[in-house]
Amino acid sequence: MRNQRIDELLEKYWEAETSLAEEQELKHLLQSAEGYTEEKTLFIGISKLSSEEPNLKMPTKTVPIKSRNWMSWAASVAILVGSIWGWTVFEQKQAEEEAYMEVMQAFALIQNNLSKGQEEMGVMNEMKYLNTTNQLFGNSISK
């Protein structure tokens, strides 16, 4: 009768349908029964494992840090290129401002010379009322 109960409990155990009380009963019945050497060995191993203090450590995986020298080189190149570009833009704007100032000075010189020329043309303003060249030179030619 005990062998039949052991078989029932083993079948429930392998189907994972036993309670803790039934598992304890199965262990007790297996210790006193003859045969069932594999099952006895299983439960003895389980009891040894559960009685020992677990010495489990989490595995640590060391990830090698790859050299990041290329990042520093890339940053250096980016800074260098940015600096050169910024300098050329600055130089170009400065050259444009200098050219603008030179053109404005040239226009001022031209305006100054034109005003001097207009002042010297004041004599010609008196002659603009003469109608012909004969009147200008005082020649009287009659027909």
Taking the CA of residue 75 as centre, how many other CA atoms within 13 Å lie in the half-sphere pointing to its CB? 5
Q: Is the pLDDT of residue 143 over 90?
A: no
Same domain, 47 and 85: no
Spatial CA neighbour of 37 closest among 83, 72, 6: 6
Global pTM value? 0.35
Q: Does residue 129 lie in a domain region?
A: no
Q: Taking a C-beta distance cutoff of 8 angstroms, is the pair 24, 47 a contact?
A: no
Assigned domain for 23 exists: yes
Q: What is the CA radius of gyration of the chain?
A: 57
User: Would you state the pLDDT for residue 8?
Assistant: 84
Considering the domain architecture, whether residues 114 and 77 belong to the same structural domain is answered as yes
Tell me whether residue 107 is in a domain: yes
The CA dihedral of 96, 99, 105, 106, to the nearest 10 degrees, is -140
- Crossing angle of helices 20-32 and 2-14, in 10° steps, is 130
**132 lies in some domain:** no
CB atoms within 10 A of CB 6: 20
Contacts of residue 3, Cβ cutoff 8 Å, sequence gap at least 6: 33
For residue 26, the enclosing domain spans 2-51
pLDDT digits (tens, 9 = 90+) for 74-115: 999 999 999 999 999 999 999 999 999 999 999 999 999 988
Model confidence band, residue 45 (pLDDT cutoffs 50, 70, 90): confident
Q: Is residue 137 assigned to a domain?
A: no
> How many beta carbons lie within 10 A of that of residue 13, not counting itself?
17
* Residue range 15-43: mean pLDDT, rounded: 80
Who wins on pLDDT, 2 or 74? 74
> Of 132, 93, 111, which is closest to residue 141 (Cα–Cα)?
132
Share of the chain above pLDDT 90, in %: 27
Residue 79 lies in a domain: yes
Q: Domains in the chain: how many in total?
A: 2
Does residue 135 form part of some domain?
no
Whether the pLDDT of residue 129 is over 70: the answer is no
Which range (6-10, 58-62, 98-102, 129-133) has the least confidence? 129-133
- 57 found inside a domain: no
